[in-house]
Structure 1
Amino acid sequence: MKREAVVTGVGVVAPGGIGAAAFWDMLTAGRTATRGITLFDPAGYRSRIAAEVDFDPAAHGLDEQRTARMDRYVQFAAVAAAEALADSGAPLAGVPPWRVGVSMGTAVGGTTRLDREYAVTSRGGADWVVDHTATAPHSHLALMPSTLSGEIAELVGARGPVRTVSTGCTSGLDAVGYAAQAVEDGLADVVVAGAAESPISPIAMACFDAIKATSDSNDDPGRASRPFDRHRNGFVMGEGAAVLVLEEASAARRRGARVRCRVAGFANHGNAFHMTGLRREGTEMARAVTTALDHARRSATDVDYVNAHGSGTVQNDRHETDAVKRALGEHARRVPMTSIKSMVGHSLGAIGSIELVACVLAMDTGVVPPTANLATPDPECDLDYVPVTAREHRTDVVLSVGSGFGGFQSAVVLDRGE
């Protein structure tokens, strides 16, 4: 019998909502979490706004030792993983640790700590020769993206396949897709999968300022993220984490777990084109969609909801619109498609997993979240983006797509399974 991967638990740390319930309440209300940056002084930056997480590690059970060791993004992941495991209902009971895996994604890893420690060792950049004795004991961990998966593996006692995925802004989708493959291929019976990011730091904001990818609507932060709107002018940086517990389907049912959905299909393709640019026609994203649907044994007309990448940049939104039309044909005009980045910003590698949690909750509740701030549609973005207000809509099959710097194009299909 073919092995299948199902989702039995979710956890999320997002701007405006820590925990799945608070997160979903914010999304369905159409509230935005964007504000002026408070994590550092953004004076002099082109973009001075972001979607920050109001996060107190102690309030979420992280002691001083773990907080000192973990960078901010790893702290997010630990809290999200704890919620996902609790939501799943003891998925590790009776499972040998060799059959438990971890698959976590991040695009920029320990940027927050590296930025802070460099400022300390160089006296704010004044010294060319840095004082290594001023560096905090755990600073080396920020250099290793594998720290994220290592910490989560230690948290859950995983001794099976443990990996860190870093494919830019598709990392969160890819980490879950690879986790599902590990279950399908018989490499693990339970995989804790997701992604985390904390990129709201001076160096990261400066990098995106340089290429003018982020919005400079500093005077109106709540409306700055406007995917598919004629007046969009870039994405809003975000942060956060999301974790999903994936289990082999028959084992999950035997233990009486609540099966929330099946990870039915996954695919990723590169465009071999440009580090940041996109071909308008969206051929590679369309191919990722059709490949993922084939993996799921689903047709284009089966798709009930599309969770868009929807970053809010001019080229991405048009590229994605054309890709979905190419992949779904005429059905693309009948299916609702939304971008939650309009509310929680773009948390780079983490956003794909955060969006997958939103997809799971949309299936649970029969509601699709809106694309906030979509007031003046771009005539070249002419699909049903569910503007401003959430919509009741039964969802049995969800398609979530992502696009990342480096030419990465990914798609994940969730469904209710058998």
Structure 2
Amino acid sequence: MNRQVAITGIGVVAPGGVGKKAFWDLLVSGRTATRTISFFDPAPFRSQMAAEVDFVPEEHGLTPREIRRLDRAAQFAVVSTRECLEDSGLLFAGVDPTRIGVSVGSAVGGTTALEREYLVLSDGGKEWEVDPRYISPHLYDAFVPSSLASEVGRAAGAEGPAAVVSTGCTSGIDAVGYARDLIAEGSADVMIAGAADTPISPIAVACFDAIKATSPRNDDPAHASRPFDRTRNGFVLGEGAAMFVLEDLEHARARGAHVYGLVAGYATRCNAYHMTGLKPDGREMAEAIRHAIAESGIAPEDVDYVNAHGSGTKQNDRHETAAFKATLGEHAYRVPVSSIKSVIGHSLGAIGSIEIAACALAMQNGMVPPTANLHEPDPECDLDYVPNEARAVDVDTVLTVGSGFGGFQSAMILTREGTDA
């Protein structure tokens, strides 16, 4: 891989506000966007809270036809794509469209539309045999995840490589990692990359209820997501999207683009162990981190900030704490670590890209977002998790990680442009 890959545009749709400024303002405030679910009656469920996006599609430029055609996840992807394109300042008319590609991650795709249409077809689940005359003509787009990539490609005028990456909760990191590799190897000059998921639906809530992965702290939703805290008892579901313009660094420099940072290293591994279980020694995540660091050319002690997966489940927080110690050594005790899922919940496949956005903005602003709701540190999680308040830090190099059902473990290194590797 000879070409360095720069992030030159960021677009975000996240709980607490639409757009990267509203997103960043919420993160550094330490406030949370988790609340009792309002999209449907959550009373029948064990976990009744989520981090919802207050999103009115008309206010963000979507036409009536787009609103009818696009699943909520696709709407998020298109709106965040438009923001990242504008943010990049790239004149796409001057770029060969066959050299512009798309890589979009999603864990559950068009879940919102699929569940809505199923309820219509089955008369609220009463009918086993459904009448196809009631099917929406756009249901196919929700059923086929590739529609996400086609919609993003249409928004960007991209005619190059296109892919949807669906690796559970690491999809957002993996989609950006794949895009980065295509540019680095010369298969594309520009990639529109990121992820979108809108899983706040009865079927998704019921699935996580069944395995008791989500928090039942329904009496206090604002403080339910508490990664690394001794009293944590599961994650809080979220939704959102983040999309990026990635381009060859020399191309970005030639046009005088603002560079948020470089995607300097990336690796993903599968533990081939258990669909949802994680071993406490963190070996699988450590392997991904080790390879991402090696590819980036940095030393472990060069990492200035670690964006943790930090889901707030007992086993995940122990697993990645062990992985940080195994890969960063004594430096693991000195480097600030935090989880933004404490603020915006866990948006499944989208969260990895949303966290990359947080990392890029942390480098730009010299500020590390906090881990909210961390008041009783778990003795087994004994690193510096930046509790409750943002911290001013000179951030030149970031490690961000993800862990997903199916045994997926991914890691990415972002560096500031000009950082020695």
Aligned to 2:54: 54
Query: CA offsets per residue over residues 397-417 of structure 1, 9 Å max, x none?
Result: 000000000000000100013
Deviations 1:242-291 (A, max 9, x none): 01110000011001111111000000000000000001111110010110
2:228 is the counterpart of 1:228: yes
**1:93 Cα deviation from its structure 2 partner:** 3.7
Q: Report the counterpart of residue 95 of structure 1 in structure 2.
A: 95
Q: Aligned partners of 1:142 and 1:212: how far apart in 2? A: 27
Q: Does 1:380 align with 2:380?
A: yes
Query: Quick one: distance in 2 between partners of 1:157 and 1:344?
Result: 31
Residue 392 of structure 1, CA deviation: 0.2
Aligned to 1:134: 134
Aligned CA RMSD, in angstroms, stands at 0.8
Give % identity: 62
Corresponding residue of 1:104: 104
Which deviates further from its counterpart, 129-138 or 386-395?
A: 129-138
Residues 19-418 of structure 1: pairs in structure 2 closer than 5 A? 19-418=19-418
CA contact (8 A) 1:264 1:417 kept: no
Contact kept in structure 1, 2:72 and 2:198, CA below 8 Å: yes
* 1:168–1:405 Cα contact (<8 Å) kept: yes
3-state SS of paired residue (2:76): helix
Does the CA-based 8 Å contact 2:241-2:350 persist in structure 1?
yes
SS at match of 1:306: strand
Q: Is the Cα contact below 8 Å between 1:398 and 1:413 reproduced in 2?
A: yes
Contact 1:85 1:91 in 2 (8 A): no
Indicate the SS of the match to 1:269: strand
TM-score (norm 1): 0.99
Deviation for aligned residue 1:41: 1.1
Contact 1:228 1:374 in 2 (8 A): yes
How many Å separate the matches in 2 of 1:378 and 1:91?
50
Return the TM-score normalized by structure 2. Answer: 0.98
**Tell me, what secondary structure is at the counterpart of 1:401?**
strand
1:24-67 CA distances to partner (integer Å, 9 max, x unpaired)? 11000001000110111112100010000000000000001011
In structure 1, distance between residues paired with 2:195 and 2:214: 21
Write the distance in 1 (CA, Å) between the matches of 2:294 and 2:287: 10
For residues 50 and 378 of structure 2, what CA distance do their matches in structure 1 show? 24
Worse-superposed segment, 86-95 or 99-108: 86-95
CA contact (8 A) 2:369 2:391 kept: yes
Judging changes above 3 Å, is the alpha-carbon distance between structure 1 residues 35 and 322 closer, same or farther for their aligned structure 2 residues? same
Contact in 1 for aligned 2:2/2:185 (Cα 8 Å): no
Deviation at 1:91, TM superposition (A): 4.7
8 Å CA contact 1:12, 1:242 repeated in 2: yes
State the distance in 1 between where 2:127 and 2:228 align: 45
Structure 2, gaps ≥5 residues long: none
Query: 1:132 offset after TM fit, Å?
Result: 1.2
- In 2: Cα distance, 1:83 partner to 1:110 partner: 22
Match of 1:187, as an amino acid? Answer: S
| Unpaired segments ≥5 residues, structure 1 | none
- Give me the whole-angstrom Cα distance separating, in 2, the residues matched to 1:274 and 1:260: 37
The one-character-per-residue Cα deviations of 1:312-343 (angstroms, maximum 9, x if unpaired) are: 00000000100111111111000000000000
Alignment-mate amino acid for residue 131 of structure 2 = D
2:252 is matched by which residue type in structure 1?
A
* Aligned 8 A contact 2:269 2:408 in 1: yes
Contact 2:259 2:417 in 1 (8 A): no
SS in 2 for 1:123: coil
Secondary structure (helix, strand or coil) at the match of 1:204 reads helix
CA distance in structure 1 between the aligned counterparts of 2:94 and 2:141, rounded to whole angstroms: 32
Q: Deviations over 1:168-195 (max 9, x none)?
A: 0000000001110010000100000000
Q: How many residues align?
A: 418
Q: C-alpha distance in 2, partners of 1:339/1:93? A: 39
Q: Which residue of 1 aligns with 2:14?
A: 14
Q: C-alpha distance in 1, partners of 2:76/2:359?
A: 20
Write the distance in 2 (CA, Å) between the matches of 1:237 and 1:22.
Answer: 20
Partners of 2:187 and 2:56 in 1: CA distance = 36
Q: What amino acid does structure 2 have at the position aligned with 1:361?
A: L
